[in-house]
Amino acid sequence: MEKKLYGIHWIASFSGCRRRVDSGKLVIDDAEFLCGLICDGLVDIGANIFSKSVKQFYPQGATVLIGITESHASAHSWPEDGFMEFDFNTCNLDMDGNFLLDYIGKNIGASGCSFMKIMRYEDGSEISEKKDIFCY
């Protein structure tokens, strides 16, 4: 008997993030811009956004939380190190999390991404795979 898959969770670390917005700030240091970028990627893969929350830290850093009817996405950045963590969880098994990670990586100017993809099953079991992607 095949186990039912309930959701897929991507957990990613982006490094070497160097793209800047017009003001000169790093994309990962502009909470509002970063939220818009992630929302655009989510919409591209068919997510339905119902809430957004952003926090700009001073002197630097940002946190973005996005509620989607399929679950959530979040990001937290350390611009001083060119580093950002991101996670995306969905119960819609047709959503392309790999596309989303690629879209975000390119648009924040990341030089690399390490991520784990976790498949969550009805019996509580999980299957995960880890990958490293470089040179966006």
Q: What is the pLDDT along the chain (136 residues), one digit of tens a residue?
A: 788 999 999 999 999 999 998 888 899 999 999 999 999 999 999 999 999 999 999 999 999 999 999 999 999 999 999 999 999 999 999 999 999 999 999 999 999 999 999 999 998 888 888 887 766 5
Domains of the chain (ranges; CATH) run 15-89+105-112 (3.60.90.10)
Distance CA 117, CA 89 (A): 10
Name the residues annotated as catalytic.
Answer: 71, 76, 91
Q: Count Cβ atoms within 10 A of the Cβ of residue 80 and give its class: 0-12 exposed, 13-18 middle, 19 or more buried.
A: exposed
What's residue 124's pLDDT? 86
Taking only the tens place, the pLDDT of each residue in 88-97 is: 999 999 999 9
Distance CA 115, CA 117 (A): 7
